[in-house]
Structure 1
Amino acid sequence: MLINVPNILTFSRIIAIPVLICLLLFVDDPLGSWLAFSAYTVACITDF
């Protein structure tokens, strides 16, 4: 696998999925929602 910027961005979005799920399901604090929102926003920004 070649390590270049598009592959790194794609891999980071794939890794973000379980992170988002864990933050939304297992953190019952408003901070968990904000962290999930932040992770989702970063994943969306890397899509452009």
Structure 2
Amino acid sequence: MVGRPLPLRDLGFRSTMELVAEMPKVVRVCPNGKGSVVLKGEA
């Protein structure tokens, strides 16, 4: 998958953030206070 777009639609998602929101045990979405977010991996 390196260097290729994520197959979001094939997986049933409309956006990368929608995909990430479904994986709370894997990644945490952290607002950075400047209007964007930082994705942090969960251990």
Taking structure 2 as the reference length, the TM-score comes to 0.23
Higher RCO (CA < 8 A, seq sep 6+): 1
TM-score by length of 1: 0.22
**Structure having the larger proportion of residues in strand:** 2
